[in-house]
Amino acid sequence: MKEFAILLEKLALTPSRNRKIALISDYMAVTPDPDRGLALAILTNNMTFTHIKSGKLKDIAKNHVDEFLFKLSYNYVGDTAETIALIWPYYEEGYDLPPLHRIVEEFENTPKSDIPKMIENYLTIATPNERWAMIKIATGGLRIGVSERLAKTALAKFGNKDLQEIEEIWHGLKPPYLSLFDWIEGKGPKPHVKFSDVFHPLMLSTPIDEEKDFEKLDIADFQVEWKWDGIRVQLVMDGDKRALFSRTGDDISAAFPDITQNVNGSAVLDGELLVGKDFMPDSFNHLQQRLNRKTVTQKQMSSHPAYICVYDMLFDNGEDIRNLPLIQRRKRLEEWFDKNPQTRLTLSEILESSTWDSVTSTRQKGADDHGHEGVMIKRKESVYVPGRPRGEWFKWKRNPFFVDAVMMYGQRGHGKRSSYYSDYTFGVWDGNNIVPIGKAYSGFTDEELVLLDKFVRNNTVSRFGPVREVKKELVLEIAFDSMQESTRHKSGIALRFPRIHRIRWDKPVQEVQSLSEIRREFLI
Amino acid sequence: MVPRETAIITHGHADHARFGHQKVIATPETIAIMKARYGDNCAQEFRPLPLRQTMRMGEIDITLYPAGHVLGSAQVLLNDGQTRIVVTGDYKRGKDSTCADYEIVPCDILVTEATFGLPVFQHPDPRVEIQKLLQSVNNNPDRAHLIGAYALGKGQRVIKLLRESGYDKTIYLHGAQRKLCDLYQAHGIDLGVLENVGNRKKSDFAGEIIVAPPSAIKDRWSRRFPDPVIAMASGWMQVKQRARQKGVELPLIISDHCDWNELLQTIQDTGAKTIWVTHGREDALVHYCQTHLGLEAEPLSIQGLGEGEDE
C-alpha cells in the first residue's frame, strides 16, 4: 500500500503524460501479483466499494474533529479525501499499512457496522499521503489525471505489447488480471475472450476543419450519414445472449429490455440509441427520461420506445470484420439485416453526397427541417479501429444558434479551475423576473475567465455553498445546438451544448429577449 | 500600508517592512535587510534595538525577542508596567539554523499571526522534505531541480538544510536570490559554495539544484534548464490541490510559520488570557481559543498587503 500511495501522489503531481506512463509501468515491473492488478483496476476506475461513501468518511472525521474547524478546512482544501487526510488528529508511528490486496479485501468484506473502526485504525497508522490515497481508493474517482486509456498504455509499454491487443480483451477480464499479467510477461497464453463476452472499444470521429479539410478531401472517398442526436451504443448479440453498452463500455442492458428482448441474430453492431415510434426520433429530452436508470417501467417503454439506428458492424455472427473497409462492412450489415428482420433496429440512411456543396445543403436542410445535429462524413476505406484515428471519420455539426441571456449564478469549477467561479447559470426575462434557461462552463478564453470570475466576486448578492448569486447586470451571448421542451427546468426549455460565445459587457439587460420570444424563435 | 512617524518592524518581508517610514525601530539584522532590499534611505532614521534590550517610548517599554521566522525576525513586547502585550510578527517554533530560535515571552495579551491557522496544516520535519529532494535529484540525474523559495529566509533555509544533510555541491542561484544570500553569509551563516546561474550551457545543470523566487520557476527563465523538476518550498505545499494548481511536481513542505499545533502550543505557553488573531485564517483560531481553551479571542484586522503567501 505504501508504494501505491507514493505512485498515486506522483501521478497526481506529474504533468507530463509520458512520465505518468513511465511511473505506472515501473510500478508494474516491481509490484507482485495480485497488488499490481488491483492497482490497475483502481487506476482504470474498475474497482468500487459501494458501501463506503464519502459522506460516511466525513462523519468519521467529524467524530474526532471540531465540526466548525472541519468545515473551514474543507472550504480551504476543497477535497474531502485530502481534508480528512490532513486533519486526522492521531498518528501512531512505526506501523505499516498492509499490502494493497489486504486493504481491498477489507474494504470489500468488512460488515457495514465495522467500517468506521477499520477506517479509523488505518487513518491513525497512515501518513497523510497514505490516508489520502486510501480514501481516494475507497470512494473512487481518483482525479489524478490518469485516464483508463493512459493506464492501459502504461501496461502496454510495460509488457511491450500493442495497446490495441490489450483493448481487445480488456473488457472480458476481471481484477486482479492475473492471466493478463501472465501473458504480458510471457508466462502464459493470451487470455481468450469470446466476441460476445466483451464490449469492443469504439471508433470515434474528429470535428471537420471547415477551413482546410474540404480542400484536402475528395468527396468521392467518403460516405455521408446524419449525425443522430441520441447516444452512441454497442449492441452485442449472440443467440439468446444480448447486451447493450454505452460508448464508455458501461452495460446499460437493464434499462433497455425493449431493445434487448426484441432483437435477433448474432452480431456486434454500432449505432445510435434513440426513442420514438416507427423509427421517428423524438428529441434528446425524451431519450433523457430513459437514461441513467437502473430499471424501466412498462409505461416509460410505451411512451418512449427505444430503438437503435445502426451504422456499423464489427462482428458478423462470430466473424471479426473490423479489418474490412467501411464500404464492405456496410454491405455485410445490409445483408445481415435482410437475413435477420428487426423491429427495434433500423439502418442509418446513406445520404446523397456527389459534391461538398450538396453535403453543405443537406446538412443545412436536415438541421432546419428535422433538427438533425449535423452530418457524419466517413472514409469508405476506413477499417474499424478503436480510438480516434485522424482523417478517417469526421463530424460536421450544424451551425449553432445564439441567444442573449443574463448571468444569474456563478459556481466554482473543478481541478485547475477550483479557484475560479467558472460555471455560470443564465436566464431570460419572464415578465419582470429572470428565469434560468441553462448553464455553461466553456467557450471563453483564460483571460475572459479571469474577468468573469472577478465579475462574480464583485457582484455577489448571496451565497449558497459553492454558488454565488450575482447582480443581474451582465449579458452573455450563448451559443447552443438546439432548444427543446423540458419538464426538468422551470423555464420549460432546455438547451443542447450551451457555451458562452461572447461576453456582452456593453449590452443592457433590458435588451435581453423574453422566454416567450425565444421559445417562438428556437423551439423545435 | 501608510508610512508612519515611528514604525517597529518585526522582520524584513515585504508585507511587514515597507519603504518610507520616518523612524524605524528593528533588530540590527532587520535594518541591514531593509537597507539591502530598499536602499539605505528607505527610512529617515534607523534605531537598532538588539534582542532582549529594552527601550522606552513614552510610558511603554519595548523589548524585542527572537521569533524564529527569518534572520533578524523579532516579537515585540510592549509593557506599561501593568499589561504585557506581545506582538509575534511572523514566527515559528521549529529549528532553523539561519536565525535565532523563537523564545516564549509570557504576556497578558498575545497578538498572534495565523497564516497556517487551520488544523489541516501540520508541518512535517523539514529534514524529511530535504531527503525527498535529494532522492529526487539522485533519481533524475538528467534533470535540473528548480526550487521556488522566497528570496528572504526560505531560500537560505533550504540551502542551509541541504548543507546540513551533507549536500556539498555548488548550489545555483537566480539573480534575485544573491543579495540576501550574501547578507546571510556576512552574518556568519555558512551556506557553502553558491554561484549565479549566469550563461552556462543547458546541459551543465543536469543533476544540479537551482534556487529561484517562486515567480521565476514557471516563467520563461526556467526554459534554460534541462527538463526541470519544478519544486517549491512552502507550507502551502501541504495541500496537493494547491501544488497541482501551481504546476509543482515536487512539493517541499518547508514553512517558516507555525503550523496549527504550534500556534495552539504558543498560545498556551505564553499564558495570555486574551488572544488577538491576525494575518491569515483568523476564524478557526479564534473559534478554537474561545470554545476549547476558554480564552478571550478576536480577529484583529491589521493594515497590510494581504497574505504574502510565499513568505
B131 and chain A: CB distance < 8 Å anywhere?
A: no
Say what the pLDDT of residue A524 is. 67
- What are the tens digits of pLDDT across the range B84-107? 999 999 999 999 999 999 999 999
In angstroms, the Cα distances linking B294 to A38, B113, B267, B268, B287 are 49, 19, 12, 11, 10
pLDDT bracket for residue B272 (50, 70, 90): very high
Phi-psi region of A148 (alpha: psi -120 to 50; beta: other; left: phi over 0): alpha
Average pLDDT of span A63-75? 94
**Do the domain assignments include residue A165?**
no
Q: Which residue has the cell 450489415?
A: A333
A385 and A307 inside one domain: yes
Average pLDDT of span B192-215? 95
A228 and A340 inside one domain: yes
Average pLDDT of span B103-129? 96
Mutation target among A8, A65, A72 for the B interface, most CBs of B within 10 A: A72
pLDDT bracket for residue A368 (50, 70, 90): confident
DSSP 8-class letter at A514 = B
Nearest to A59 by CA among A130, A120, A5, A126: A120
B220 within 8 A of B137, measured Cβ to Cβ: no
User: Which carries the bigger pLDDT value, residue A399 or residue B129?
Assistant: B129
* Cα separation of the two ends of chain A: 55
Q: Which of B122, B241, B284 is closest, CB to CB, to A69? A: B284
A360 and A410 inside one domain: no
**Do the domain assignments include residue A30?**
yes
**Do the domain assignments include residue A148?**
no
A9 and A88 inside one domain: yes
B139 and chain A: CB distance < 8 Å anywhere?
A: no
Residue ranges covered by each domain of chain B? 6-120+257-299, 126-252
A235 within 8 A of A242, measured Cβ to Cβ: yes
Q: Which residues on neighbouring strands pair with residue B196, listed in sequence order?
A: B173
B55 within 8 A of B66, measured Cβ to Cβ: no
A205 and chain B: CB distance < 8 Å anywhere?
A: no
Say what the pLDDT of residue B223 is. 79
**Do the domain assignments include residue A192?**
no
What percent of the residues of chain A are helix, what percent strand, and what percent coil, each to the nearest 5? 40, 25, 35
Query: Rounded to 5 degrees, what are φ and ψ at A412?
Result: -65, 145
Say if residue B308's pLDDT is above 50: no
- What are the tens digits of pLDDT across the range A292-326? 787 899 999 999 999 999 999 999 999 999 999 99
**Do the domain assignments include residue A146?**
no
Say if residue B305's pLDDT is above 80: no
**Do the domain assignments include residue A149?**
no
Largest alpha-carbon pair distance within chain B? 64
**Residues A235, A242: Cα–Cα separation, whole Å:** 7
The pLDDT > 90 percentage for chain A reads: 76
Cβ distance B119 to A14 less than 8 Å, yes or no, reads no
Could you give the ipTM of this predicted complex? 0.93
- What are the tens digits of pLDDT across the range A239-289? 899 999 998 787 899 899 999 999 999 999 999 999 999 999 988 888 888
- What are the tens digits of pLDDT across the range A500-519? 999 999 899 999 999 999 99
- What is the domain-level CATH number for residue A343? 3.30.470.30
Say what the pLDDT of residue B1 is. 63
Say what the pLDDT of residue A463 is. 84
If residue B145 lies in a helix (H) or strand (E), which one and from where to where?
A: strand B145-148
What is the grid cell recorded at B101? Answer: 530560535
| SS3 (DSSP) at A197 | helix
Say what the pLDDT of residue B311 is. 42
**Residues A119, A57: Cα–Cα separation, whole Å:** 8
Q: Which of B119, B122, B240 is closest, CB to CB, to A69? A: B119
Mean pLDDT of chain A: 92
- What are the tens digits of pLDDT across the range B29-64? 999 999 999 999 999 999 999 999 999 999 999 999
Count of domains for chain A? 3
**Residues B149, B248: Cα–Cα separation, whole Å:** 12
Query: Quick one: CA dihedral A66, A71, A75, A78, positive or negative?
Result: positive
Say what the pLDDT of residue A414 is. 66
For A214-233, give the DSSP string. Answer: HHH--GGGEEEEE--SSEEE
Residue A473 identity? E
Which range of residues forms the domain containing residue A405? Answer: 401-522
B134 and chain A: CB distance < 8 Å anywhere?
A: no
Say what the pLDDT of residue A399 is. 87
Peptide bond preceding B214 in cis form (omega within 30 of 0): no
A405 and A501 inside one domain: yes
Say if residue B309's pLDDT is above 60: no
A327 and A339 inside one domain: yes
Cβ distance B287 to A419 less than 8 Å, yes or no, reads no
Mutation target among B240, B249, B263, B309 for the A interface, most CBs of A within 10 A: B240
In whole angstroms, how large is the CA radius of gyration of chain B? 20
**Residues B193, B178: Cα–Cα separation, whole Å:** 12
B303 and chain A: CB distance < 8 Å anywhere?
A: no
Report the CATH number of the B126-252 domain: 3.40.50
In angstroms, the Cα distances linking B157 to B97, B143, B195 are 8, 23, 16
**Do the domain assignments include residue A173?**
no
Q: Which of A100, A117, A139 is the last residue of a domain?
A: A139
Say if residue A419's pLDDT is above 80: no
User: Which carries the bigger pLDDT value, residue B109 or residue A369?
Assistant: B109
Average pLDDT of span A453-476? 91
CA of A12, closest CA in chain B: separation in Å?
A: 7
**Do the domain assignments include residue A248?**
yes
Burial zone of A6 (CB within 10 Å; 0-12 exposed, 13-18 middle, 19+ buried): middle
Say what the pLDDT of residue B247 is. 84
Nearest to B98 by CA among B23, B29, B167, B26: B29
Say if residue B180's pLDDT is above 90: yes
In angstroms, the Cα distances linking A453 to A418, A468, A506, B303 are 11, 11, 18, 26
Query: Rounded to 5 degrees, what are φ and ψ at A521?
Result: -75, -40
In whole angstroms, how large is the CA radius of gyration of chain A? 26
Average pLDDT of span A333-351? 96
A222 and A360 inside one domain: yes
If residue A136 lies in a helix (H) or strand (E), which one and from where to where?
A: helix A128-139
Q: Which residues contact A284 (CB under 8 A, 6 or more apart)?
A: A229, A230, A482, A484, A496
Q: Which residues on neighbouring strands pair with residue A347, listed in sequence order?
A: A310
Say what the pLDDT of residue A416 is. 59
Say if residue B307's pLDDT is above 50: no
Beta-sheet strands, E only, within A147-192: none
Say what the pLDDT of residue A418 is. 61
* Architecture in CATH of B6-120+257-299: 4-Layer Sandwich (3.60)
User: Which carries the bigger pLDDT value, residue B73 or residue A214?
Assistant: B73
A344 and A493 inside one domain: no
User: Which carries the bigger pLDDT value, residue A133 or residue A369?
Assistant: A133
- What are the tens digits of pLDDT across the range B140-170? 999 999 999 999 999 999 999 999 999 999 9
